Amino acid sequence: SMASLTPPNPPWPEFLVEGHGDGRQAEAPAEDPQLARSSHGRTWAQYERPEGGNWWHCNDDGQFFLEAEPQDWKQWTCPNRMQDYWHNSKTDEFFFVALAAP
């Protein structure tokens, strides 16, 4: 079920939580991660970082990027849909971000 979906093991060291000397990850967020289906048919999930900000992880192949340091990814706004989306300039992959609840 979606409720049991836990974030993948984060690939960068600052994610390690103090007190977890065995390398276990922090508990999954209470809310389900936001899922987005990309133009390449892949599923991206958004997770919060404990120190603030978000990161996206591709469930299909483990690729990821930080919103603060997105590298080849860039966030744009689609005027027709009044919705933001992320686009990768190298692969031409994109996915829409669900609108935040008011």
- What was the pLDDT predicted at 32? 75
| CA–CA separation, 68 and 49 (whole Å) | 11
| CA–CA separation, 9 and 15 (whole Å) | 9
29-85: per-residue pLDDT in tens?
Answer: 446 788 999 999 999 999 998 888 999 999 899 999 999 999 999 999 887 777 889
- What was the pLDDT predicted at 19? 39
- What was the pLDDT predicted at 102? 55
In the structure encoding, which two tokens stand for residue 73, read together? 């990814």
In degrees and rounded to multiples of 5, residue 84 shows phi and psi of: -85, 155
Domain range list for the chain? 31-102
| CA–CA separation, 19 and 22 (whole Å) | 9
| CA–CA separation, 63 and 24 (whole Å) | 20
- What was the pLDDT predicted at 66? 95
Its pTM surpasses 0.85:
no
